[in-house]
Structure 1
Amino acid sequence: MNTLTTTAAEMVAKARAEIDEIETSTLIGMLDDPNLVVVDIRDVRERQRSGFIPGSFHAPRGMIEFWVDPDSPYFKPIFGEDKNFVFHCASGWRSALTCQTLKNMGFQSAHLREGFSTWEAQGGPVERVE
């Protein structure tokens, strides 16, 4: 049987101590910034079920390191732009780990602290797939 030496919650707490976090209300106020790229790392089914931030770029969590790395055959040019990147997931756990990993790669970003879970309730716009 495997015995964990570090829990997922501990990993997230460590990541949060090392990265930039943005509150929901702050990100809502930033949406008109042309230098902002909101990156949704949730699964496509989550986006279909809950909707998504209009104009957000979808980058599945499992591919993000490869999409950000310009030397990767999977590199996406959007990540080569001189923009401010804010990543989000549903609750802020996956995006915290993502931003920590990207920081270790030398890629500057922030994440939505509470994730998409509080977005609509705090007045954030949501686009839905019909």
Structure 2
Amino acid sequence: MALGYKDLLARADAAVKSYETADAPALIENPDVVLVDIRDPRELDREGLIPSARHAPRGMLEFWIDPESPYHKPYFAQDKEFVFYCASGWRSLLAAQIAQEMGLRSASLRGGIGDYKRAGHPIAERDRHPG
């Protein structure tokens, strides 16, 4: 029988560490953590992102993580924990599972940026010309 999205999310939730929205301020300040926003660039433009977060579009994630890929991003080679987030936490949970399978220490932020914003935490604008 084929798996549906609920099955995939349940499997990922059982395998991946998740943080709650209340943990976000400490994660931002932790030098051993890299927050990774996997949302579409249009979502970032519309809603902003968590301060200090890196952007890695979900469609490029595997290519940016793999050091053998011509699209590899060196920040994924750091010995840090990568905490992925999206709008509501579903895409980031699946992304964190893939990252974990690719050898990264990874986690997901439950509730995504939606819960983060509702909790009143600060938002940053996307840098359209990252260095």
Q: TM-score, normalising length from structure 2?
A: 0.90
Distance 1:5 1:72 in 2: 30
Equivalent position to 2:94, from 94, 97, 106:
97
SS in 1 for 2:117: coil
Q: In structure 2, what is the equivalent of residue 58 of structure 1?
A: 55
CA distance in 1, matches of 2:88, 2:36: 14
Normalising by structure 1, what TM-score?
0.90
**Identity percentage of aligned residues:** 46
- Structure 1 segment 1-130 matched on structure 2, within 5 A: 5-128=2-125
Give 4+ residue runs of structure 1 displaced > 6 Å after superposition: none
Contact 2:89–2:111 under 8 Å retained in 1? yes
Q: Pairwise CA RMSD of aligned residues? A: 1.6
- In structure 2, how many angstroms separate the alpha carbons of the residues matched to 1:33 and 1:5? 40
* Alpha-carbon shift at residue 33 of structure 1 (Å): 1.4
Q: Deviations over 1:9-45 (max 9, x none)?
A: 2211111111000001112222111222100000000
Summarize the Cα distance change of 1:124–1:109 in structure 2 as closer, same or farther, 3 Å threshold: same
Distance in 2, Cα, partners of 1:81 & 1:102: 13
Amino acid of the structure 2 residue aligned with 1:62? G
Return 5+ residue gaps in structure 2 as ranges. Answer: 127-131
What secondary structure does 2:49 align onto?
A: coil
Structure with greater Cα Rg = 1
Q: Identify unmatched segments of 5+ residues in structure 1.
A: none
What CA distance in whole angstroms lies between the structure 2 residues aligned with 1:47 and 1:31? 18
